[in-house]
Structure formats: C-alpha cells, structure tokens
Amino acid sequence: MPLFGSTFSPKKTPPRKCASLSNLHMLDRSIREIELGLEYGTPTVNLAGHSLKFENGQWVAESGSFTGDHREMQRLRKRNQQLQEENNLLRLKVDILLDMVS
C-alpha cells in the first residue's frame, strides 16, 4: 500500500491515425507531376535589373544580361588576384617576423 495514496497511472493514449490518407506519396514521380501539376522551370531572380537563373547548383547570368559589366568583372577579378597575392606576401612577412622574435 502506498504511503501517500494511490500511485500515478496515466491513461493509455489511443493509437494514432495515419498521418496522410493520400496515396500520392506512393505514386511514381512522373505521375505525381501530372496529378499535382508540378512542372517547375529553372528558378530565376531579377536583382537590380540583372537576371540570374539557377543551373547545375550555381547562379548563372542569363544571356545578354551582364554584357556591359564584362569589363568590370574582369577588372574585379584582376583586383582580387592582386589582393590575394598581397595577402600571401604579408602572411609570409608576419611568419618571418615571428620566427625572428622567437
């Protein structure tokens, strides 16, 4: 016999019903697309007048949208390369200075 009265015994929960009564998840992908109308095109984004589309895991400029900025992109790539080289040189100098101090 328990010391402070009856023991705690919760009621059993009723069994759960099936989450989805639809059998569409069992259909083939092509049949699902026909049934649900899931015909997606490639995702496109329009940013500041430039149109980009998502292909093969990367955002690619649509043809003709970045033609005027091609020279600017080359200039930025060249500047980026220069900054990377400068960064590598500065890291080398820091390593040499740390070796000299220790």
Pick 47 or 35 by higher pLDDT.
47
Read off the pLDDT band of 14 (50, 70, 90): confident
Look at the chain and report how many structural domains it folds into.
2
- Locate tokens 């069992």: which residue? 26
Q: Whole domain around residue 89: which residue ranges? A: 65-101
Q: Please indicate, yes or no, if residue 9 is contained in any of the structural domains.
A: no
Q: Please indicate, yes or no, if residue 11 is contained in any of the structural domains.
A: no
What's the pTM? 0.36
Q: Please indicate, yes or no, if residue 14 is contained in any of the structural domains.
A: no
Residues 38 and 60 grouped into a single domain: yes
Q: What is the pLDDT of residue 40?
A: 66
